[in-house]
Amino acid sequence: MYPDLDGKVAVITGAGRHRGLGAAIARKLAEDGVRIVLHDIGRVAGAMAPEHGVGKSTELDQVADEIRAITPHITTCQADMRVESEVEALVGSAVQHFGKLDILVNNAGVGFLFGPLIDQTQEQWDTVLDVNLRGAFFAMKHAVRQMLKQEEQPNWGRGRIVSIGSRGSKSGSALTSSYIASKHGLVGLTRSAAIELGPQQITVNAVCPNHVTTGLGSWQNDYMAKARGQTLDEYMDAMRGRIPLGRVGETADTANACAFLCSGQARYITGESMNVSGGEEMH
């Protein structure tokens, strides 16, 4: 669909889940000829590993193997987004394997440390903000340093940064205070970086999907249904009822929006936070 993406190099963070947004974005970009650095964290302990947990390194490898059916130009890298040196090495792996970095997709995030505001611990709050916001900043910082070393490409520019926000980047909700705060902050980071990096022809945008029933999304559905005293069917029916297009988001919806923002067709779009919500969010 976007021939000008052929041969570009992208780092996609948090992409080691079979049903996840990151994996879907990687598949879509690979179909357009992008060379992929697929990232995830692997196993960790503490607040990062509750009942939902995080992806295993073996799952990252399995996702990569699936994408190799589309393109041989893919490598994997594990890094903790909370540790700047590891994020810097992640960017370095793109240059090491492919000689450059054109696209950063900030997808890594924590979306499972939910609960009442008064019960949230400092460790939980710090974990969510450190991954969802500070990690995105680290990735942006080191990706831009590399992009600035590269020549501007005609009708495309010097680089693309797309961060995965949320409907929670625009509106609040109960039981998700740290998540909502981090996603609002991501929009502010996107807007400020777009102003700063525009003169260097690096566009910075966010994609803000509403709920997508990934593996994490399934856990969120169960949690919220129980918290509201509803059955899962009742909760899902109510969700669909709020969406003008009448269905919950799919991973492909977000992946398609990312591919567009990475393409030359979006070279005059920056600082935006694009809703991909079926009309549920309109500002």
- Please choose, from the candidates 73, 103, 80, 94, the residue with its C-alpha nearest in 3D space to the C-alpha of residue 16: 80
* Cα 213 to Cα 160: distance, rounded to the nearest angstrom: 27
Kindly tell me if the per-residue pLDDT of 44 is higher than 90: no
* 3-214+250-275 carries CATH number 1.20.1730.10: no
Q: 219-228, 250-259, 273-282: lowest mean pLDDT where?
A: 219-228
- Which SS3 state, helix, strand or coil, does residue 146 take? helix
Q: What is the pLDDT of residues 47-80, one digit of tens each?
A: 555 555 544 556 899 999 999 999 999 999 999 9
* Cα 53 to Cα 238: distance, rounded to the nearest angstrom: 27
Average pLDDT over residues 227-238: 92
Domain range annotation of the chain = 3-214+250-275
Catalytic one among 2, 179, 223, 235?
179
The amino acid occupying position 12 is I
The residues that bridge with 37 in the sheet, in sequence order, are 11, 75
* Cα 23 to Cα 204: distance, rounded to the nearest angstrom: 21
**Structure-token match 């995105």, residue found:** 136
Q: What is the pLDDT of residues 73-104, one digit of tens each?
A: 999 999 999 999 999 999 999 999 999 999 99
Q: Where are the alpha helices (DSSP H) in 162-264?
A: 177-197, 215-227, 232-241, 251-262
The amino acid occupying position 7 is G
- Please choose, from the candidates 275, 6, 38, the residue with its C-alpha nearest in 3D space to the C-alpha of residue 156: 6
* Cα 182 to Cα 168: distance, rounded to the nearest angstrom: 9
Active site includes 179? yes
DSSP category for residue 151: P
Instruction: Kindly indicate the confidence band of residue 131, based on its pLDDT and cuts at 50, 70 and 90.
Output: very high
* Cα 11 to Cα 219: distance, rounded to the nearest angstrom: 27
* Cα 235 to Cα 193: distance, rounded to the nearest angstrom: 37
